[in-house]
Amino acid sequence: MPDNCAVGGPFPPVNLGSFSGAGSAVKSANGDVTVDKVDSGLVLDLTSQHGSITIAHKIDQNSKATLTACGAVNIGEKIDQHSRATILAHGDVSIGQKIDQWSRDIIITSTKGGIDIGEKVDQHSQARLTAATTVHIGQKIDQHSEVTIVAQGDITIDEGIDQHAVADITSVNGNIIIGQAVDGEAVATLRAPKGHITIKQKVAGGATVNWSAITFTCPDQSGGTVNPI
């Protein structure tokens, strides 16, 4: 997707309805694209050449979607359990609810914007999030998940990193803020070479935090292992 893909037009919006079934579909449109949902194990490859993509509801369980957009990508509900998704957008990427349990190979990249997940990366999921600005997760990285986050700006997880999760988080130019805790048996590698790392409550018993930043702040580190790297 070229950097100047937004030029030209105007391009009319297109509503493609729902995609359902065990087959596959490849679709491309010039302007903004709306899809109701991707259902029943369908494999969808969808491109908006000059606009944004909106999935009104969800990428349902056992489905796979590759979404490429010049603008933003918005998913109203979630990437459901046992699904796969690759999202590449110049604009912001937002997921209203969550990346659900046992979702695998979730790769989300915003080349000029940020990523916002309203709730969480649920248990036993795998996700890689890369953003040009900020990343925000409204709840947590849940238990037994594997998550890699790289952002140029601040990375904020409102609750925490749950037990047995593995998280590798890098803010290239900003800060990392975890609103509550890194929980028991979780392993978190946190890097903010030009900023600060804050865990507002604790590193719980059995958890490991490896960190690199200007400063690291956590009021209760007695239960876990905290290593500067």
Q: What is the pLDDT of residues 162-214, one digit of tens each?
A: 999 999 999 999 999 999 999 999 999 999 999 999 999 999 999 999 999 99
**Mean of the per-residue pLDDT values of the chain:** 97
Q: Which residue has the higher pLDDT, 71 or 223?
A: 71
Confidence check: pLDDT of 150 > 90: yes
Q: Could you tell me if residue 15 is inside a domain? A: yes
pLDDT tens readout for residues 79-90: 999 999 999 999
Contact of 202 with 178, CB cutoff 8 Å: no
User: What band does 222 get if pLDDT is binned at 50, 70 and 90?
Assistant: confident
8 A C-beta contact, residue 139 and residue 119: yes
For residues 113 and 70, what is the distance between their CA atoms, to the nearest angstrom?
Answer: 11
Q: Is the pTM of this model over 0.85?
A: yes
Residue that terminates a domain, selected from 99, 133, 167: 133
Residues of the domain holding 89:
1-133
User: Could you say which of 116, 133, 150 is where a domain stops?
Assistant: 133
31, pLDDT greater than 90? yes
Q: Please tell me whether residues 78 and 54 are part of one structural domain.
A: yes
The answer on pLDDT for 22 being more than 90 is no
Same domain, 127 and 179: no
Residue keyed to tokens 């694209």: 33
CA distance 191 to 148: 12
Assigned domain for 32 exists: yes
- Give me the number of domains the chain comprises: 2
SS3 assignment, position 181: strand
**The pLDDT of residue 40 is above 90:** no
Q: Which whole-number Å values give the CA distances from 77 to 159, 224, 225, in the listed order?
A: 20, 35, 36
Same structural domain for residues 91 and 164? no
* Closest-CA residue to 159 (of 130, 174, 137, 188): 137
* Both tokens assigned to 93: 């990427």
Structure-token pair, residue 20: 């359902």
Q: In this prediction, what percent of the chain has a pLDDT beyond 70?
A: 100
Half-sphere exposure of 221 (CA within 13 A, CB side): 14
